[in-house]
Amino acid sequence: MQDNIVELLHKGEYSCVVSNGEETRTFSKRGVIDLYELIENDLPFLNGSSIADKVVGKAAATLMILSGVSRVYAEVISEPAIDLIKNTKIELTFGKAVPLIENRDKSGICPLEKTCMNTNSLQELFIRIEEFINRMRH
């Protein structure tokens, strides 16, 4: 893993840092929206990239797998996300594994983590993520 993007993640208080070749980009939006927008607008940048992310749940793991990410560092990662990534070629390192990602006020499960339960089909997961994001946008 590129230590500089992990360091940048912490120093800059970003939610996500993506590096591919000579280019490094930082992101600060909540949830998986930055990853989703990269898939929509600049998929080639994600392919083969290294990502340092504060929180990786099953939805983020799905988007990383589908976009061809090579390396992932997660500050916090859910066990369902680890299970999904472990059968891929993604090089994964993380700070802390948790059973599930909590929602923002820590009163329950993250709604997107809940949406991604009960299937490991990447296609089905992507449809669920897309529907979730579209509901949030409107």
Question: pLDDT digits over 105-129, tens only?
Answer: 999 999 999 999 999 999 999 999 9
pLDDT at residue 2 in the model: 66
Q: Where are the domains of the chain?
A: 3-137
Instruction: Provide the sign of the torsion angle of the four alpha carbons 115, 117, 120, 124, taken in this order.
Output: negative
Question: 51-78: per-residue pLDDT in tens?
Answer: 999 999 999 999 999 999 999 999 999 9
Show Cβ contacts of residue 24 under 8 Å, excluding neighbours closer than 6 positions: 4, 5, 8, 17, 18
pLDDT band at 13 (very low <50, low <70, confident <90, very high): confident
Top-tier CATH class for 3-137 = alpha beta
* Angle subtended at Cα 27 by Cα 26 and Cα 29, rounded to the nearest 5 degrees: 170
The per-residue pLDDT for 136 is 87
